[in-house]
Amino acid sequence: MMLQFGQIAEHGRKRVPDATGIPALEVAPSEDDAFLLAIEVQSEPDPDKPLDWACHVARLHLMYELPILLLVVCRNRTTATWAAGPFESRFGTWTFQVLRPLVLGPDDLPEIMDASSIAQQPVLATLAAITHSEGEKITDALEALARGMRSLDRDTALYLCRLLEVGLGDTAARETWIRLLTAGVL
């Protein structure tokens, strides 16, 4: 059988995911070591996700010409264990790609409740709130996060609010966060 260009698309293969909607932060500890931190929130294991992640990482690398570190933030231990991979793309016995995301789950970050810590490390505090969003103390953590974000510049606070809203997904914690925002706590 002879293949021609375009045949894959004609057979309805999965479309390549768009990488432009992925939250990402440029990290530049020094001029030579800059990289992009691509942040994905995963609520449960999904067998299709590793291929999407590989596409996202490749596209971001092409778009920004920086090394990409994929950070997968999980709200429970089971998903965090799964998300750590490694995920191998294979043909027969040949492995042609391996993806090993950096994973943060509830066992990897402490709950951050004090406003001074939040003001000093707002990204870490936001990620901690996502990982602990199913915990008993999430309302207290979100209230503290909102207070701590008051000291941030507007763009940073808006970015982290959006990341948190997306990261909380369809949890009760998301409703609490939206209620705090509409009440003007931030």
What does the pLDDT look like over 82-132, one tens digit per residue? Answer: 999 999 999 999 999 999 999 999 999 999 998 788 888 999 999 999 999
Q: Quick one: pLDDT at residue 33?
A: 85
Q: Where are the alpha helices (DSSP H) in 132-171?
A: 138-149, 154-168
The DSSP call for residue 44 is S
The DSSP call for residue 66 is S
Neighbours of 88 (CB within 10 A): 12
Q: What is the pTM of this model?
A: 0.82
Instruction: Please list the ranges in the chain whose pLDDT falls under 50.
Output: 1-16
Q: Where are the alpha helices (DSSP H) in the chain?
A: 7-10, 49-64, 77-83, 115-120, 122-131, 138-149, 154-168, 172-182
For 74, the 3-state DSSP assignment is: strand
Q: Which residues contact 51 (CB under 8 A, 6 or more apart)?
A: 14, 89
